[in-house]
Structure 1
Amino acid sequence: MNTKAVYAACLFAALNICTLSARAEAEVTPQTYTYGTHLDIQKVVSLTQDTGPSCGIVNARLTYLDSQGKTQALNYSKFSDDCHEGN
């Protein structure tokens, strides 16, 4: 087997792994945070927030891996990152 074929097979395998992890993240049903929600966060994958007023409450989502390696998502409310005065 020549080296070009080996490199192509490795590239194809890497792309498939990336595609599977992206699909797994897209298929996660987010949980809505309430006071007392048990959080099992091993690693944060991403933090996003809705665009909103320059300063105010916005919806946000935390995507993370739990201690079992499963992708989880959590919706919550927070002050916008644009709030700088007194916060």
Structure 2
Amino acid sequence: MKQILFFAVCLTTSLAAYGQQPTASPTAIPYNYGMYLDISKLVNISPIAEVCGPSLAEITYKDSEGKTHILGYSVMGNGCSN
């Protein structure tokens, strides 16, 4: 009887620990021309910097499996004027 109780306590403890594992935030992957992008839902687009020249921007999206991805790309800044 003690073995069954011990097993039940261990199983409950391990399941509780499994359920509380923190999820790691995805890191930005640089865009390469010709990459296949499985975009199901757009989550966020970072604002374009107010600089005169190229700057980095990011787009966050979910794929068809529901996984979140962050894609980094270069964009011309909004700070240039004539």
Q: TM-score, normalised by structure 1?
A: 0.56
Q: Give the C-alpha shift of residue 83 in structure 1.
A: 5.7
d(CA) in 2 for partners of 1:52, 1:82 = 4
Which of 1, 26, 32 is equivalent to 1:28? Answer: 26
Which of 41, 53, 57 is equivalent to 1:56? Answer: 53
Q: Mark the runs of 5 or more structure 1 residues left unpaired by the alignment.
A: 1-22
d(CA) in 1 for partners of 2:42, 2:65 = 14
d(CA) in 2 for partners of 1:59, 1:31 = 12
Q: Give the C-alpha shift of residue 30 in structure 1.
A: 1.6
Q: 1:63 aligns to what SS in structure 2?
A: strand
Give the greater-gyration-radius structure (CA): 2
Q: Which residue of 2 aligns with 1:16?
A: none
Q: TM-score, normalised by structure 2?
A: 0.59
Which of the two has greater helix per residue?
1
Letter aligned with residue 28 of structure 2: P
Q: Give the C-alpha shift of residue 80 in structure 1.
A: 2.2
Q: Which residue of 2 aligns with 1:80?
A: 77
- How many correspondences in the alignment? 61
d(CA) in 1 for partners of 2:26, 2:71 = 10
Q: Mark the runs of 5 or more structure 2 residues left unpaired by the alignment.
A: 1-21
Letter aligned with residue 64 of structure 2: S
Alignment of 1:9-24 (within 5 A): none
